Amino acid sequence: MPAPSADELKRQAAAVALEAVAPGMRLGLGTGSTAAHFVDLLGAKVKAGLDVLCVPTSERTRAQAAALGVPLATLDEAPELDLTVDGADEFDAKMRLIKGGGGALLREKIVAAASKRFIVITDESKRVETLGAFPLPVEIDPFGAKATRLHVERVARDLGLAGTVGPRLKPDGHVFVTDGGHLILDCAFGAISDPDALADRLSAIPGVVEHGLFIGLATAVVVAGRDGVSTLGRLGPA
């Protein structure tokens, strides 16, 4: 039997996360290729009669969910959520994450922080011993972008990190701009020996709106692999 494709693994993880959804829940919907599978599966449940209200983390996710008939609200309309389901670019054994590859890290983090539970759905390729193989996204204000970039580089050097820090570009070569009108620096630091310290230092930089280190937010990570689906943390309520 051929090994499952990456897409099949993502869908398997999404299906397990869907089991944590109950009628009447207020849900946060993540952004990215893995989260899109969850939205697809959720849409089928909604069509079959599931009653939920959902807050999307990006305009892309909003459009997908709306097309499937999923009831939507803003976070101001539903400021306290029962559960958010989203993907990740990397995760470690402590359920620390790097997110932001899809360009929605600020809204993703705001929504995750507003949720009682945050389930991350991934495939086994996203598991790492040390975060940093995936370039860390840092969302910044366009004003003073070069000064902010230099500050990020100084903080990295102080923590023994090196590597290129540059603005994210779209395929057409133009600078990528987030839904909130910000820029993203992709920081190829390599192995980040102390993610907690880096998160604290980045958060203190004027001009940094948010960074892609999600620490202390995930309550579970669902991992689909060749040998089946495994879970770190807890899927259900405490």
Q: Is 8 a catalytic residue?
A: no
State the DSSP string of 30-98.
--SHHHHHHHHHHHHHHHTT---EEEESSHHHHHHHHHTT--B--TTTS-SEEEEEE--SEE-TT--EE
Nearest to 56 by CA among 37, 18, 84, 82: 84
Q: Which residues of 116-133 are buried (b: 16+ CB within 10 A; e: fewer)?
A: ebbbbbbbeebbbeebbb
Nearest to 55 by CA among 87, 24, 77: 77
End-to-end CA distance of the chain: 38
Per annotation, catalytic residue among 19, 90, 108, 210: 108
- Report the catalytic residues: 108
